[in-house]
Structure 1
């Protein structure tokens, strides 16, 4: 097995992980920022006020992007298993 092939597989897998995790985390981070600005403007220091909107938005994003995430993971795994003879030989 060529080291370049291993690095290419590692790079594609790492890129896929970064895209999938960022698609889940960015909306929650934006919601947290909006709630934090609201809390700073109104001087409300309630911890659940910052947690609940992020939680609801993250669940919504998981429900909305879940099929796409699953498709990306299965496509990558299928390509990986399909190319095993080429990678080894």
Structure 2
């Protein structure tokens, strides 16, 4: 296992992690921003008003992009397992 391989693996793992997490995080960010603007405009500061829409939006996005996320993680794992014999040399 060369240092270059380890660095490449670490960079690729971080990239895949960010790529997979991005849809859910961006959804939570956008819905939270919209709810925050709505709460500031109406002076209603109820905690469930911000939590429930975020939860529902993230569940919907999770159902929509879940297969892509799973495929990306399975492909990453497959690439690691296939490339492991070369890395051990």
- TM-score by length of structure 2 reads 0.96
User: Could you say what the CA RMSD is over the residues aligned between the two structures, in angstroms?
Assistant: 0.7
Aligned 1:5-84 pairs, distance under 5 A = 5-84=5-84
- Number of residues of Structure 1 aligned to a counterpart in Structure 2: 89
Q: Which runs of 5+ in 2 are unaligned?
A: none
d(CA) in 2 for partners of 1:29, 1:52: 14
Structure number with greater CO (CA < 8 Å, separation at least 6) is 2
Deviations 1:64-86 (A, max 9, x none): 01100000000000010001111
Q: Which runs of 5+ in 1 are unaligned?
A: none
